[in-house]
Structure 1
Amino acid sequence: MQHTDIPSRDSILSLATARDPLSVSIYLPTSPLPQESEASRIALRNQVDEAQRQLLAVGADKREVAAITEQIGDFIADRAFWTHLSNSLAIFVTPTSLKTYRLPNRLEAAVEVADRFYVKPLMRAATFPQTAYVLALAQNSVRLLEISADDVPHRITVDGMPENVADGAGLDPIAGRSPVGHQTGGRAGGGNTPAGRVQGAEGQKVRMAEYSRAIVRALRPLFNGLNVPLIIAGAEPLVSIFRSVATYPHLASQTITGNPEEIPDADLAASARLILDEIYAAQLAALRDNFADRHANGRASTDLSDVARAATFGAIETLFVDIDRSIPGRIDSESGAVTVAEEDNAVNYGVVDEILRRALLSGSQIFAVRAEDVPGGGAFAATLRFAA
């Protein structure tokens, strides 16, 4: 089982804006298997040695360096933590603080020392969090699952959720009748649905629509303000009927087909993650197409100087960054002018990371992706809010 701590955008922004002359960022590939934790702890010790070497090379105070290494040493000694890992571990440490995140993405090992934290790889988990809800929808039952990067999905109790079609339609689940009237003609006493409409296949569709609307009403308080995909698991015609009355804007077009009463939660979660991969792939393809259109109109760039200036003046609309590439150097805080360095050391920081930080501050949409998904194939690319 994986254990994850995916940071929010606000958490990433807090890390990106923090400043300390001795800021150490470490990314470590790990394994969720407890028996493999010792190898990860050894690898981290080696990374700490490298961070210490870089700090001492620029004349950092030995007491402050010792404070960093002691904090990480205590963290390494916490054996209970090391039995609850995911696929990567991110560590951010100064002489007075240490923060960690367990991430579902497989990230490359990295050690960065500067006056700020190296957050670009951390954005990968925030870009594609592998989080969704699955609504397992059947005529005789409905359940809501929360899917995350963890292996185990969680069932969510929803207040007011109908138990089945009869419950959602306000019918007696035993007799299939309205509890407020038993007439067979005209209108059922006190009811709003003509009794003649709830007969046969057509009547069953009416009940399924009422059931679907009851589910939508129950889900609305939970989903208000969310932007997490909702994936339906179920069979026709109920799935189509539910889609016809659903109002949630992030309802996935893909469906997990079949009777969800016969599909275990873990299998629903596995199918949902495949659908999430499809959603993200389609989203990236659309963004790359948009980049090409913007580039033709002077509203996109892959030039380092142009993108750095655009980030400085809040002109980036969408930023793509390769999570595995780093360009050492510095960016002027006023003009956005870039100075690229030959060596990655404790004096320089990643200029793409600094572009990302400035884009975060201006509310840009950011996608931390693999190299093949960056338009132009470079370390970064950006669409702009106005023509350069």
Structure 2
Amino acid sequence: MSIDLPSADDFTELTQHRHASSVSVYVASSGSDGNLSPIGRHPESAQIALRTAVTDALSGGTADEVPASDRERLLGLVDALVEDRDFWSTQARSLAVFASPDGLRSFRLMNRLRTHGSLGDRFDTGPLIRATTFAHSGFVLALTKGSVQLLSLESDASNHEMVLTGLPEDLGLELQTADHDGRMDRQRADGNQRPKAQRRDYCSTVQEAVLQQINGSDHPLVLAASSDLEPAYREVNTYRRLVEEGIPVNPASLGRDELARRGREVLDRNYAAQLAEWRERFGTLRAHGRASAKLRDIARAATAGQVDVLLFDLTAEREGTIDEYGNVTPADEPSAHTYGLADEVAARVLRSGGTVKAVRGADLPDGAKIAATFRSAV
């Protein structure tokens, strides 16, 4: 697998975890030239960065409180991960690693994350939540006879081609038909249907390879296909985030950057429409006491499991604490005992089965930093 997206159960486990010797590390891959590239191309640099980040975290201000046995256990778990060859054969561009003496969890991500580590009594899941709920990422599938290309569009406006495995070398032969295309084969009743069936089979083969790369992802997929293959692919598609709007140009005429640019335009229009619809619903529900843009109201609702959809500013940085009843206590400055308030609210929403979206500030209503709709009046 190239990516390991955390499930709702993963978030529940990570955000409820408590141990005094808990290390959270985020590692971005970089090549010999300093540019970000898939980890599988330069695993050694990512492995060194991981070990360094863990060592630095264990050398921080509260590191003296870590027992020697815990320190030895943590370093052993990280060494075991470094030795896992399968884990490092990946197209992921960042890693999120969470370790304590109880065990280690790791996730391979396509997002660009800053390399850093921290030590505390809980895992720092904020960057992971933001990375996996920020929607300005997606995929573009370019499909023509005998040619398949899958692009990953990242939230930082970059793109890269994903390697599709399992496709036959003679893929284009699946679409070879008689020149008359069945029209003159009057003795065969299925003459006109045979090319359609072949196109469906061709698209099914392609989709199987695509799903091996992106299944489990929540990112939208934009289709750019020749006019004969576009309806066939949509007919066999099982990926739930295939965008209704496609790129209405034969992708054979587009370079990779142009294909990515057009795909991003489709994603932006699709996402803008979704947010506009949500803001309208938000206004209606707020008038009936079922929505709010106030942190204190939302924190109490999230603690009670009443938040349906939460949107928060991707750049929100205010820290503090939230108690077991949802009462918020902001902090004047960050410390080892505080955490991102928006991140903590998001974690509680995810644990109760709600939907979380990290968005740009302009996408929120009334200039707010956070907004939510509730399952019932609060």
Is TM-score (shorter-chain normalized) higher than 0.5?
yes
* Cα distance in 2 for residues equivalent to 1:372 and 1:65: 44
* Cα distance in 2 for residues equivalent to 1:43 and 1:258: 43
How many angstroms does 1:36 deviate by? 2.5
Aligned to 1:386: 376
Out of 283, 303, 314, the position equivalent to 2:294 is 303
* Cα distance in 2 for residues equivalent to 1:306 and 1:88: 34
> Aligned runs of 1:1-388 on 2, under 5 Å?
5-9=3-7, 10-27=9-26, 30=28, 32-36=30-34, 45=52, 49=56, 52-56=59-63, 60-63=65-68, 66-67=71-72, 70=75, 88-95=94-101, 97-107=103-113, 112-127=118-133, 128=135, 130-132=137-139, 134=141, 136-137=143-144, 141=145, 145-148=149-152, 151-155=160-164, 173-177=178-182, 182=185, 188-192=186-190, 229-236=220-227, 238=228, 242=232, 250-261=241-252, 268=259, 271-272=262-263, 275-333=266-324, 335-388=325-378
How many angstroms does 1:301 deviate by? 1.4
How many angstroms does 1:21 deviate by? 2.2
Q: Is the 8 A contact 1:233 1:257 kept in 2?
A: yes
Report the TM-score when normalising by structure 2: 0.69
Larger radius of gyration: 1
Q: Is the 8 A contact 1:328 1:349 kept in 2?
A: yes
* Cα distance in 1 for residues equivalent to 2:348 and 2:167: 40
**CA separation of 1:95 and 1:374: change in aligned 2, threshold 3 A:** farther
Residue 189 of structure 1 aligns with an amino acid whose one-letter code is Q
* Cα distance in 2 for residues equivalent to 1:116 and 1:250: 33
* Cα distance in 2 for residues equivalent to 1:379 and 1:40: 36
Q: Is the 8 A contact 2:120 2:336 kept in 1?
A: yes
Report the TM-score when normalising by structure 1: 0.68
Q: Deviations over 1:73-131 (max 9, x none)?
A: 969998x9999886554332324544444543344566554322121221233223844
Q: Is the 8 A contact 1:162 1:211 kept in 2?
A: no
* Cα distance in 2 for residues equivalent to 1:72 and 1:34: 27
How many angstroms does 1:351 deviate by? 3.5
Question: 5+ residue gaps in structure 2?
Answer: 36-44
* Cα distance in 2 for residues equivalent to 1:321 and 1:132: 24
**CA separation of 1:328 and 1:40: change in aligned 2, threshold 3 A:** farther
Q: Is the 8 A contact 1:294 1:300 kept in 2?
A: yes
Q: Between Structure 1 and Structure 2, how many residues are aligned?
A: 354
SS of alignment partner, residue 245 of structure 2: strand
How many angstroms does 1:216 deviate by? 6.9
How many angstroms does 1:303 deviate by? 1.8
Question: 5+ residue gaps in structure 1?
Answer: 183-187, 199-205
